Copies of this chain bind each other. A is one copy, B any other.
Amino acid sequence: MNTVSPSSAPASAPGQAAPGQTTSGQVWAHVGQPFAPRSYDVVVLGAGRMGSAFAFYLRGLAPHLSLLLLEEGGLPNEDGATLLAPGVWTARGVPENRKAEADWTREQLETAFGDISFQARPLIELFAEDGPERTPAAEALAPHPDALAMVDVTALPFAHTDAGAATYRPGALALAAAQMAVKSGADLMLNARAHAVSAGEVVIERLSVTNTHQIVVHETHRLRAGTLVLALGADGPHAAEHDLGVHTTHARAYRQTPRLNVPSTDDTPTLRAAGLTLRPQNGGFTLIPAVHHRDPHGYVPTGGHLTGVPTGLRRETLEDLVALMDALPPLGTEALGLGRSISDIPGAWLALPGGRADGLPLHQTLTDGVHLLLGGPHADTLGLAVTYDLAAAVAGVEERPWENAPV
Protein backbone atom coordinates (compact mmCIF):
# COMPACT_ATOMS: atom_id res chain seq x y z
CA MET A 1 0.00 0.00 0.00
CA ASN A 2 1.43 3.32 -1.00
CA THR A 3 0.43 6.87 -0.49
CA VAL A 4 0.92 9.71 -2.85
CA SER A 5 3.98 11.87 -2.28
CA PRO A 6 3.41 14.97 -0.09
CA SER A 7 3.90 17.26 -3.07
CA SER A 8 0.71 15.95 -4.69
CA ALA A 9 -2.44 17.97 -4.62
CA PRO A 10 -4.64 17.19 -1.61
CA ALA A 11 -8.25 16.16 -2.01
CA SER A 12 -10.08 19.34 -2.80
CA ALA A 13 -13.51 20.35 -3.94
CA PRO A 14 -13.83 21.04 -7.65
CA GLY A 15 -14.49 24.45 -9.11
CA GLN A 16 -12.24 26.47 -6.80
CA ALA A 17 -10.43 28.31 -9.57
CA ALA A 18 -11.64 31.47 -11.18
CA PRO A 19 -13.29 31.08 -14.59
CA GLY A 20 -10.68 30.70 -17.32
CA GLN A 21 -8.06 29.33 -14.96
CA THR A 22 -7.15 25.67 -14.86
CA THR A 23 -8.53 23.93 -11.82
CA SER A 24 -6.42 21.23 -10.19
CA GLY A 25 -8.11 17.86 -10.10
CA GLN A 26 -8.98 15.99 -6.95
CA VAL A 27 -6.73 13.36 -5.42
CA TRP A 28 -7.97 10.49 -3.29
CA ALA A 29 -4.88 8.91 -1.80
CA HIS A 30 -6.62 6.82 0.87
CA VAL A 31 -10.08 5.65 1.88
CA GLY A 32 -10.35 8.35 4.55
CA GLN A 33 -11.05 10.82 1.76
CA PRO A 34 -14.70 10.42 0.77
CA PHE A 35 -15.51 9.83 -2.87
CA ALA A 36 -18.86 10.63 -4.44
CA PRO A 37 -19.13 8.70 -7.69
CA ARG A 38 -19.81 10.68 -10.82
CA SER A 39 -19.49 10.05 -14.52
CA TYR A 40 -16.27 10.82 -16.37
CA ASP A 41 -15.59 11.36 -20.00
CA VAL A 42 -12.41 9.32 -19.71
CA VAL A 43 -11.26 6.82 -17.08
CA VAL A 44 -7.68 5.52 -17.15
CA LEU A 45 -6.86 2.26 -15.35
CA GLY A 46 -3.25 2.31 -14.21
CA ALA A 47 -0.97 5.23 -13.35
CA GLY A 48 2.32 3.77 -14.54
CA ARG A 49 4.21 5.87 -17.01
CA MET A 50 1.88 4.96 -19.89
CA GLY A 51 -1.39 5.76 -18.11
CA SER A 52 -0.02 8.86 -16.38
CA ALA A 53 1.50 10.28 -19.56
CA PHE A 54 -1.75 9.57 -21.40
CA ALA A 55 -3.68 11.51 -18.75
CA PHE A 56 -1.23 14.40 -18.94
CA TYR A 57 -1.37 14.64 -22.74
CA LEU A 58 -5.13 14.27 -22.87
CA ARG A 59 -5.63 17.10 -20.39
CA GLY A 60 -3.52 19.29 -22.65
CA LEU A 61 -5.26 18.25 -25.86
CA ALA A 62 -8.83 18.11 -24.60
CA PRO A 63 -9.25 20.08 -21.36
CA HIS A 64 -13.03 19.85 -21.76
CA LEU A 65 -12.96 16.08 -21.18
CA SER A 66 -13.22 15.11 -17.51
CA LEU A 67 -10.66 12.44 -16.61
CA LEU A 68 -10.12 10.03 -13.71
CA LEU A 69 -6.80 8.24 -13.32
CA LEU A 70 -6.99 5.09 -11.17
CA GLU A 71 -4.06 3.27 -9.61
CA GLU A 72 -4.10 0.11 -7.50
CA GLY A 73 -0.93 1.04 -5.63
CA GLY A 74 0.92 4.30 -5.18
CA LEU A 75 2.87 6.49 -7.55
CA PRO A 76 4.54 4.60 -9.02
CA ASN A 77 3.18 1.16 -8.18
CA GLU A 78 5.86 -0.84 -6.37
CA ASP A 79 4.91 -4.03 -8.23
CA GLY A 80 4.69 -2.50 -11.68
CA ALA A 81 7.13 -2.58 -14.56
CA THR A 82 7.58 1.22 -14.60
CA LEU A 83 9.66 1.36 -11.46
CA LEU A 84 12.08 -1.32 -12.74
CA ALA A 85 12.21 -0.18 -16.35
CA PRO A 86 15.78 0.49 -17.50
CA GLY A 87 15.12 4.09 -18.47
CA VAL A 88 17.46 3.85 -21.43
CA TRP A 89 16.45 5.84 -24.48
CA THR A 90 18.21 4.59 -27.60
CA ALA A 91 17.54 4.73 -31.31
CA ARG A 92 18.92 1.17 -31.57
CA GLY A 93 16.25 -1.30 -32.61
CA VAL A 94 13.75 1.37 -33.60
CA PRO A 95 12.36 0.85 -37.13
CA GLU A 96 13.10 3.66 -39.58
CA ASN A 97 9.44 4.72 -39.78
CA ARG A 98 9.26 5.20 -35.99
CA LYS A 99 12.46 7.25 -35.59
CA ALA A 100 10.57 10.56 -35.58
CA GLU A 101 8.43 9.32 -32.69
CA ALA A 102 11.53 8.15 -30.84
CA ASP A 103 13.19 11.53 -31.32
CA TRP A 104 10.06 13.32 -30.14
CA THR A 105 9.92 11.05 -27.08
CA ARG A 106 13.54 11.92 -26.29
CA GLU A 107 12.78 15.64 -26.52
CA GLN A 108 9.77 15.23 -24.23
CA LEU A 109 11.83 13.27 -21.70
CA GLU A 110 14.45 16.00 -21.70
CA THR A 111 12.13 18.99 -21.46
CA ALA A 112 8.53 18.24 -20.53
CA PHE A 113 8.51 16.54 -17.13
CA GLY A 114 10.91 18.48 -14.93
CA ASP A 115 13.66 16.58 -13.12
CA ILE A 116 13.40 12.93 -14.06
CA SER A 117 17.19 12.47 -13.96
CA PHE A 118 17.42 12.80 -17.72
CA GLN A 119 21.00 12.52 -18.82
CA ALA A 120 22.66 12.17 -22.20
CA ARG A 121 24.72 8.97 -21.87
CA PRO A 122 26.15 6.96 -24.77
CA LEU A 123 25.10 3.34 -25.21
CA ILE A 124 28.02 1.16 -26.26
CA GLU A 125 26.97 -2.21 -27.59
CA LEU A 126 29.69 -4.87 -27.75
CA PHE A 127 30.02 -7.73 -30.20
CA ALA A 128 32.18 -10.77 -30.81
CA GLU A 129 31.96 -10.22 -34.57
CA ASP A 130 32.48 -7.27 -36.86
CA GLY A 131 29.49 -5.69 -38.60
CA PRO A 132 28.16 -2.46 -40.11
CA GLU A 133 28.93 0.72 -38.15
CA ARG A 134 31.12 -1.17 -35.69
CA THR A 135 34.46 0.09 -34.45
CA PRO A 136 37.14 -1.55 -32.33
CA ALA A 137 35.77 -1.92 -28.80
CA ALA A 138 39.05 -0.78 -27.26
CA GLU A 139 38.75 2.51 -29.13
CA ALA A 140 35.06 3.00 -28.34
CA LEU A 141 35.70 2.35 -24.65
CA ALA A 142 38.96 4.33 -24.44
CA PRO A 143 37.24 7.58 -23.29
CA HIS A 144 35.58 5.54 -20.48
CA PRO A 145 38.30 3.76 -18.48
CA ASP A 146 35.79 2.52 -15.89
CA ALA A 147 33.74 0.78 -18.61
CA LEU A 148 36.85 -0.46 -20.40
CA ALA A 149 37.97 -2.15 -17.19
CA MET A 150 34.77 -4.22 -17.14
CA VAL A 151 35.17 -5.72 -20.61
CA ASP A 152 37.51 -8.34 -22.02
CA VAL A 153 37.95 -6.70 -25.41
CA THR A 154 39.54 -9.84 -26.83
CA ALA A 155 36.19 -11.62 -26.31
CA LEU A 156 34.11 -8.63 -27.46
CA PRO A 157 36.42 -6.76 -29.86
CA PHE A 158 33.76 -4.76 -31.73
CA ALA A 159 31.47 -1.96 -30.62
CA HIS A 160 28.56 0.09 -31.88
CA THR A 161 28.15 3.42 -30.12
CA ASP A 162 24.81 5.23 -29.93
CA ALA A 163 26.13 8.65 -28.99
CA GLY A 164 22.59 10.04 -28.78
CA ALA A 165 21.39 7.63 -26.12
CA ALA A 166 20.19 8.89 -22.74
CA THR A 167 19.04 7.62 -19.38
CA TYR A 168 16.26 8.74 -17.08
CA ARG A 169 14.03 7.43 -14.30
CA PRO A 170 10.75 5.98 -15.58
CA GLY A 171 9.36 5.99 -12.02
CA ALA A 172 10.03 9.73 -11.76
CA LEU A 173 8.41 10.20 -15.16
CA ALA A 174 5.24 8.42 -14.05
CA LEU A 175 5.07 10.49 -10.86
CA ALA A 176 5.69 13.79 -12.67
CA ALA A 177 3.19 13.01 -15.44
CA ALA A 178 0.49 12.07 -12.92
CA GLN A 179 1.11 15.20 -10.85
CA MET A 180 1.05 17.39 -13.94
CA ALA A 181 -2.14 15.71 -15.09
CA VAL A 182 -3.75 16.46 -11.73
CA LYS A 183 -2.48 20.03 -11.85
CA SER A 184 -4.16 20.44 -15.23
CA GLY A 185 -7.46 19.06 -13.95
CA ALA A 186 -7.34 15.27 -13.92
CA ASP A 187 -8.74 13.49 -10.89
CA LEU A 188 -6.54 10.78 -9.37
CA MET A 189 -7.40 7.94 -7.05
CA LEU A 190 -4.68 5.76 -5.54
CA ASN A 191 -5.07 2.44 -3.78
CA ALA A 192 -8.04 1.74 -6.00
CA ARG A 193 -8.39 -1.51 -7.92
CA ALA A 194 -10.56 -1.06 -10.98
CA HIS A 195 -12.22 -3.34 -13.50
CA ALA A 196 -13.99 -2.55 -16.71
CA VAL A 197 -17.42 -4.13 -16.37
CA SER A 198 -18.33 -3.37 -19.94
CA ALA A 199 -17.62 -0.62 -22.42
CA GLY A 200 -18.63 2.52 -20.53
CA GLU A 201 -18.71 1.14 -17.00
CA VAL A 202 -16.06 0.68 -14.32
CA VAL A 203 -16.13 -0.86 -10.87
CA ILE A 204 -13.69 0.63 -8.38
CA GLU A 205 -12.62 -1.10 -5.18
CA ARG A 206 -10.98 1.28 -2.75
CA LEU A 207 -8.35 -0.63 -0.80
CA SER A 208 -7.10 -0.23 2.73
CA VAL A 209 -4.70 -2.09 4.96
CA THR A 210 -5.66 -3.81 8.20
CA ASN A 211 -3.63 -3.85 11.40
CA THR A 212 -2.33 -7.23 10.28
CA HIS A 213 -1.16 -5.83 6.93
CA GLN A 214 -3.86 -7.46 4.89
CA ILE A 215 -5.20 -5.54 1.94
CA VAL A 216 -8.99 -5.37 2.07
CA VAL A 217 -11.70 -3.71 0.02
CA HIS A 218 -13.02 -0.76 1.98
CA GLU A 219 -15.77 0.29 -0.41
CA THR A 220 -16.90 -0.34 -3.95
CA HIS A 221 -18.16 2.18 -6.50
CA ARG A 222 -19.60 1.82 -9.94
CA LEU A 223 -19.30 4.67 -12.40
CA ARG A 224 -19.81 5.48 -16.04
CA ALA A 225 -16.98 6.41 -18.38
CA GLY A 226 -17.33 7.58 -21.96
CA THR A 227 -13.89 6.26 -22.83
CA LEU A 228 -11.88 3.66 -20.95
CA VAL A 229 -8.11 3.23 -21.22
CA LEU A 230 -6.52 0.05 -19.86
CA ALA A 231 -2.94 1.01 -19.01
CA LEU A 232 -2.31 -1.92 -16.70
CA GLY A 233 1.03 -3.02 -18.10
CA ALA A 234 1.47 -6.77 -18.31
CA ASP A 235 -1.94 -7.21 -16.66
CA GLY A 236 -3.73 -5.30 -19.43
CA PRO A 237 -4.22 -8.16 -21.90
CA HIS A 238 -5.54 -10.40 -19.13
CA ALA A 239 -7.99 -7.67 -18.05
CA ALA A 240 -9.10 -7.24 -21.67
CA GLU A 241 -9.91 -10.91 -21.89
CA HIS A 242 -11.24 -11.49 -18.39
CA ASP A 243 -13.33 -8.32 -18.02
CA LEU A 244 -14.32 -7.64 -21.61
CA GLY A 245 -14.00 -11.03 -23.32
CA VAL A 246 -11.58 -9.64 -25.90
CA HIS A 247 -8.76 -11.99 -26.77
CA THR A 248 -5.45 -10.39 -27.80
CA THR A 249 -2.13 -11.73 -29.04
CA HIS A 250 -0.12 -10.03 -26.31
CA ALA A 251 1.93 -11.90 -23.74
CA ARG A 252 4.22 -11.21 -20.81
CA ALA A 253 7.56 -12.17 -19.34
CA TYR A 254 9.04 -11.88 -15.86
CA ARG A 255 12.19 -9.79 -15.97
CA GLN A 256 14.57 -9.48 -13.05
CA THR A 257 17.00 -6.61 -12.72
CA PRO A 258 19.87 -7.70 -10.48
CA ARG A 259 22.51 -5.33 -9.19
CA LEU A 260 26.17 -5.30 -10.22
CA ASN A 261 28.19 -3.51 -7.56
CA VAL A 262 30.92 -2.08 -9.75
CA PRO A 263 31.40 1.70 -9.38
CA SER A 264 29.81 3.99 -11.97
CA THR A 265 29.52 7.74 -12.36
CA ASP A 266 27.36 10.12 -14.36
CA ASP A 267 29.92 9.80 -17.16
CA THR A 268 29.88 6.00 -17.36
CA PRO A 269 28.26 4.83 -20.60
CA THR A 270 25.50 2.27 -20.70
CA LEU A 271 26.92 -1.04 -21.96
CA ARG A 272 25.18 -3.82 -23.81
CA ALA A 273 26.33 -7.30 -24.86
CA ALA A 274 24.33 -10.30 -26.09
CA GLY A 275 21.11 -8.52 -25.13
CA LEU A 276 22.24 -7.78 -21.57
CA THR A 277 22.17 -4.07 -20.72
CA LEU A 278 24.43 -2.75 -17.94
CA ARG A 279 22.80 0.48 -16.88
CA PRO A 280 24.83 2.80 -14.62
CA GLN A 281 22.61 3.68 -11.68
CA ASN A 282 23.07 4.84 -8.09
CA GLY A 283 26.84 4.55 -8.28
CA GLY A 284 26.76 0.96 -9.54
CA PHE A 285 25.00 -0.89 -12.33
CA THR A 286 21.53 -2.29 -12.78
CA LEU A 287 21.54 -5.28 -15.10
CA ILE A 288 18.69 -5.53 -17.57
CA PRO A 289 18.74 -9.10 -18.92
CA ALA A 290 17.57 -10.02 -22.38
CA VAL A 291 13.96 -11.16 -22.69
CA HIS A 292 14.08 -13.97 -25.23
CA HIS A 293 10.40 -14.84 -25.36
CA ARG A 294 7.16 -14.89 -23.39
CA ASP A 295 6.74 -16.88 -20.22
CA PRO A 296 3.99 -19.50 -20.33
CA HIS A 297 0.63 -19.04 -18.70
CA GLY A 298 0.81 -20.34 -15.14
CA TYR A 299 4.54 -19.73 -14.74
CA VAL A 300 5.48 -18.73 -11.21
CA PRO A 301 8.89 -17.03 -11.09
CA THR A 302 11.40 -19.36 -9.48
CA GLY A 303 15.00 -18.95 -8.37
CA GLY A 304 17.76 -21.00 -9.95
CA HIS A 305 20.87 -22.82 -8.84
CA LEU A 306 24.48 -22.08 -9.58
CA THR A 307 26.68 -25.13 -9.00
CA GLY A 308 24.20 -26.32 -6.41
CA VAL A 309 23.82 -23.02 -4.56
CA PRO A 310 20.31 -21.52 -4.67
CA THR A 311 20.05 -18.08 -6.22
CA GLY A 312 17.28 -15.53 -6.47
CA LEU A 313 17.93 -15.14 -10.18
CA ARG A 314 15.79 -17.23 -12.47
CA ARG A 315 17.59 -20.00 -14.23
CA GLU A 316 17.33 -18.61 -17.77
CA THR A 317 18.88 -15.28 -16.78
CA LEU A 318 21.56 -17.08 -14.79
CA GLU A 319 22.52 -19.07 -17.88
CA ASP A 320 22.79 -15.89 -19.93
CA LEU A 321 25.00 -14.26 -17.30
CA VAL A 322 27.21 -17.34 -16.98
CA ALA A 323 27.69 -17.34 -20.76
CA LEU A 324 28.91 -13.72 -20.52
CA MET A 325 31.23 -14.12 -17.54
CA ASP A 326 34.36 -14.50 -19.65
CA ALA A 327 33.59 -11.44 -21.76
CA LEU A 328 32.45 -9.32 -18.79
CA PRO A 329 34.59 -10.58 -15.90
CA PRO A 330 32.81 -8.62 -13.11
CA LEU A 331 29.78 -10.89 -13.70
CA GLY A 332 31.88 -13.74 -12.34
CA THR A 333 32.63 -11.98 -9.06
CA GLU A 334 30.76 -11.25 -5.86
CA ALA A 335 29.90 -7.85 -7.35
CA LEU A 336 26.92 -9.61 -8.95
CA GLY A 337 23.98 -9.76 -6.55
CA LEU A 338 22.56 -13.25 -7.12
CA GLY A 339 20.39 -13.34 -4.04
CA ARG A 340 19.24 -16.53 -2.37
CA SER A 341 15.55 -16.54 -3.20
CA ILE A 342 13.35 -14.96 -5.84
CA SER A 343 12.30 -12.15 -3.50
CA ASP A 344 15.91 -10.97 -3.17
CA ILE A 345 16.07 -9.75 -6.78
CA PRO A 346 13.87 -6.91 -8.06
CA GLY A 347 11.66 -8.18 -10.83
CA ALA A 348 8.42 -7.35 -12.61
CA TRP A 349 6.15 -8.67 -15.31
CA LEU A 350 6.82 -7.00 -18.60
CA ALA A 351 4.16 -6.76 -21.32
CA LEU A 352 5.22 -8.20 -24.68
CA PRO A 353 3.12 -6.42 -27.32
CA GLY A 354 2.04 -8.89 -30.00
CA GLY A 355 3.59 -11.66 -27.90
CA ARG A 356 7.01 -10.61 -29.16
CA ALA A 357 10.13 -10.01 -27.09
CA ASP A 358 10.89 -7.05 -29.39
CA GLY A 359 7.30 -5.78 -29.57
CA LEU A 360 6.92 -2.01 -29.80
CA PRO A 361 4.57 0.01 -27.56
CA LEU A 362 1.07 0.23 -28.96
CA HIS A 363 -2.51 1.18 -28.33
CA GLN A 364 -5.40 -0.87 -29.59
CA THR A 365 -9.18 -0.47 -29.61
CA LEU A 366 -10.62 -3.43 -27.71
CA THR A 367 -14.25 -2.52 -28.20
CA ASP A 368 -16.14 0.71 -28.80
CA GLY A 369 -14.65 3.32 -26.46
CA VAL A 370 -12.20 0.95 -24.74
CA HIS A 371 -8.49 1.16 -25.51
CA LEU A 372 -5.56 -0.96 -24.46
CA LEU A 373 -2.29 0.92 -23.92
CA LEU A 374 0.85 -1.25 -23.77
CA GLY A 375 4.44 -0.25 -23.11
CA GLY A 376 6.72 -3.28 -23.05
CA PRO A 377 10.42 -3.61 -23.84
CA HIS A 378 10.69 -0.42 -25.93
CA ALA A 379 8.55 1.84 -23.75
CA ASP A 380 11.68 3.78 -22.72
CA THR A 381 12.16 4.97 -26.28
CA LEU A 382 8.70 5.12 -27.84
CA GLY A 383 6.22 5.05 -24.95
CA LEU A 384 5.47 8.77 -24.79
CA ALA A 385 4.78 9.06 -28.52
CA VAL A 386 2.34 6.15 -28.34
CA THR A 387 0.53 7.64 -25.32
CA TYR A 388 0.35 10.98 -27.12
CA ASP A 389 -1.00 9.27 -30.21
CA LEU A 390 -3.83 7.69 -28.23
CA ALA A 391 -4.54 10.94 -26.37
CA ALA A 392 -4.77 12.80 -29.68
CA ALA A 393 -7.08 10.13 -31.10
CA VAL A 394 -9.37 10.37 -28.05
CA ALA A 395 -9.26 14.17 -28.25
CA GLY A 396 -10.10 14.08 -31.96
CA VAL A 397 -6.87 15.89 -32.84
CA GLU A 398 -5.37 15.04 -36.24
CA GLU A 399 -1.87 16.51 -35.88
CA ARG A 400 1.06 14.63 -34.41
CA PRO A 401 3.98 16.84 -33.33
CA TRP A 402 6.64 14.46 -34.70
CA GLU A 403 5.16 14.76 -38.18
CA ASN A 404 6.08 18.46 -38.19
CA ALA A 405 9.72 17.74 -37.41
CA PRO A 406 12.07 19.67 -39.73
CA VAL A 407 13.52 17.46 -42.46
A247 to B302, CA, bound (A): 19
Which of B293, B301, B322 touches A247 (beta carbons < 8 Å)?
Answer: B322
A245 neighbours in B (Cβ, 8 Å): 307-308
Q: How far is the CB of A365 from chain B (nearest CB, A)?
A: 20
A247 to B296, CA, bound (A): 24
Please state if B307 and A302 are interface contacts (CB–CB under 8 Å): no
**Interface presence of A292 (CB below 8 A):** yes
Q: How far is the CB of A238 from chain B (nearest CB, A)?
A: 10
Chain A interface residue count, CB cutoff 8 Å, equals: 22
Please state if B297 and A315 are interface contacts (CB–CB under 8 Å): yes
Which of B295, B308, B322 touches A296 (beta carbons < 8 Å)?
Answer: B295
Counting every copy of the chain, the complex holds 2
A292 neighbours in B (Cβ, 8 Å): 293
A308 neighbours in B (Cβ, 8 Å): 245
Please state if B315 and A298 are interface contacts (CB–CB under 8 Å): yes
**Interface presence of A214 (CB below 8 A):** no
Q: How far is the CB of A290 from chain B (nearest CB, A)?
A: 13
State the A residues within 8 Å of B (CB): 245, 247, 249, 292-302, 304, 307-308, 314-316, 319, 322
The residue in chain B whose Cβ has the minimal distance to the Cβ of A295 is B296
The residue in chain B whose Cβ has the minimal distance to the Cβ of A355 is B319
A294 to B302, CA, bound (A): 15
The residue in chain B whose Cβ has the minimal distance to the Cβ of A298 is B302
What would 12 A/B residue contacts be, using CB atoms closer than 8 Å?
A245-B307, A247-B307, A292-B293, A295-B299, A296-B314, A297-B302, A297-B314, A297-B316, A298-B300, A298-B314, A298-B315, A299-B299
Given A249-B319, A319-B249, A322-B247, CB of A297 within 8 Å of CB of B293: no
The residue in chain B whose Cβ has the minimal distance to the Cβ of A292 is B293
A31 to B315, CA, bound (A): 38
A341 to B307, CA, bound (A): 36
Given A247-B322, A322-B247, CB of A304 within 8 Å of CB of B297: yes
Which of B294, B299, B319, B322 touches A298 (beta carbons < 8 Å)?
Answer: B299
